[in-house]
Structure 1
């Protein structure tokens, strides 16, 4: 599992997170809800090992990440994929965009072997790309140029690119905030399929109804830390913290 223990983070004099502790298991969806500016993206960046927290520890499978040397830390980072709020695709085909992460993460010998298999007509990378695109219903766009996609289609390609790397953990930062209902539904279905494959998924979202639909557990991030983390049903139906209750009911406005 990924575990954060007493993690705090600040940007200069601004405290963003304080004494945050949580764990994420493979095969579960953890929803993080809270208003803008409370540190949801910073929390995801810490989980992705992009950002070193100001204080506290980050463990993956019992290994304290920031005590490791760079090569060992990189090996752990490669087990985590992240999808950002806005899709950022290369000026290339959909297939090339999805396979990019696979090629970067492969050691050079494996990339050479993959190229050879491609020449001989058996390409494992292409199979992984097709499978990931199938999860987001985009196999018919395999050879389409990314610049011609709609915003929702581009975000689904971003999701497929993250999934194709076969991560242990998948982090999603407001992945459907600007999408229409169909694209939102397809990405939510893809999240549930990722969970069923044994991937641990963390979704930061403003949409509380989305968290109710897809999350197994929910953490409510208010101020600079969590008010509580628990099962989705308990958080929405019987929260123990008054701030949680007021936020979910709309009484607490940021």
Structure 2
């Protein structure tokens, strides 16, 4: 099973943000998408998350062209993809309610009603997937705390747990540690590695090249309108084949 973009082109209005972009994310691997601000990293993640169709090119989920099938089938694919944004965007509710939201909305209405009480009991007994996700990000002790009382780093960790709780096939992260302190950054990076260990394919957009080097199996470099180079992490950083990649990594290419 893979999430595969081939020859993507996209933009807004008359502006082209991405051109001829191809990228594959496989189960169990972490792919870092690096590049300066404004080159289309977030746009690429939104396309991979199936939020909107590209202007050109194709997106395949497990070999299926998702924009060539029915909306119902496309929704089924979208529900197997989680995304964490740069801003946590938590609901006005408890940490528990936020963490279990993704699981809750993926159930039928009848199942939601039948399982409401069972979920609550399961969470308090530490048996639910939402509780397990909170344990992954080190916040199980804040289960009933209101989300509004969390620090920025804690809120981002809850957002990560919310996406992880429904056990997606693919997890897309848009600058997940931007402006976080080292402790919260380390917790999220550990959670990214654990997601990979659980056979979840992860794509992380980041401007932090050190972070990409720490957590990624492969790196894709976006400069100008598209991917200039992609490959195994150490090869990209130590032996880039494209001169633009080398200049960007060495800090010579200024945007």
Structure-2-length-normalised TM-score = 0.96
Gaps of 5+ in 2: none
Aligned residue number for residue 83 of structure 1: 84
Give how far 1:101 is off.
1.2
Where do 1:1-254 residues align within 5 Å? 1-115=2-116, 117-118=118-119, 121=121, 127-254=128-255
C-alpha displacement of 1:84: 0.3
1:99–1:125 Cα contact (<8 Å) kept:
no
1:170 Cα deviation (Å)?
0.2
Matched residues in 1 for 2:50 and 2:83: separation?
10
8 Å contact from structure 1 (residues 4, 22) kept in 2:
yes
CA distance in 2, matches of 1:235, 1:109: 50
Aligned residue for 1:82, secondary structure, equals: strand
Q: How far apart, CA to CA, are the structure 1 residues paired with 2:227 and 2:37?
A: 14
| Residues 177 and 188 in structure 2, CA contact (< 8 A), matched pair in contact too | yes
Aligned length: 253
| Distance 1:116-1:93 versus aligned 2 partners, 3 A rule | closer
Distance, in Å, in 2 between the alignment partners of 1:22 and 1:155 is 26
Q: Take 2:3 and 2:50, find their aligned partners in 1: how far apart are those partners?
A: 11
What runs of 5+ residues in structure 1 fail to find an aligned partner? none
TM-superposed CA distance for 1:125, in Å, is: 10
Q: Distance in 2 between matches of 1:209 and 1:190?
A: 17
Please report the TM-score for the alignment, with normalisation by the length of structure 1. Answer: 0.97
Q: CA deviation at 1:51?
A: 1.7
Q: Is the 8 A contact 1:99 1:126 kept in 2?
A: no
The CA distance in 2 between the partners of 1:71 and 1:208, in whole Å, is 38
Structure 1 residue 116, shift from structure 2 partner: 5.3
Segments ≥4 residues shifted beyond 2 Å: 115-119, 121-126
1:79 and 1:168 in contact (8 A); partners too: yes
- Cα offset, 1:27, TM superposition: 0.3
* TM-aligned CA distance change 1:142 to 1:117, over 3 Å: closer
Distance 2:198 2:165 in 1: 12
How far did residue 71 of structure 1 move? 0.6
Sort the Cα spacing of 1:249 and 1:118 in 2 relative to 1 into closer, same or farther, 3 A: closer
What whole-Å deviation, never above 9, does each CA across 1:29-60 have from its counterpart, x for those lacking one? 00000000000000000000002100000000
Output the CA distance in 1 between the equivalents of 2:122 and 2:184: 32
| Structural RMSD (CA) | 1.4
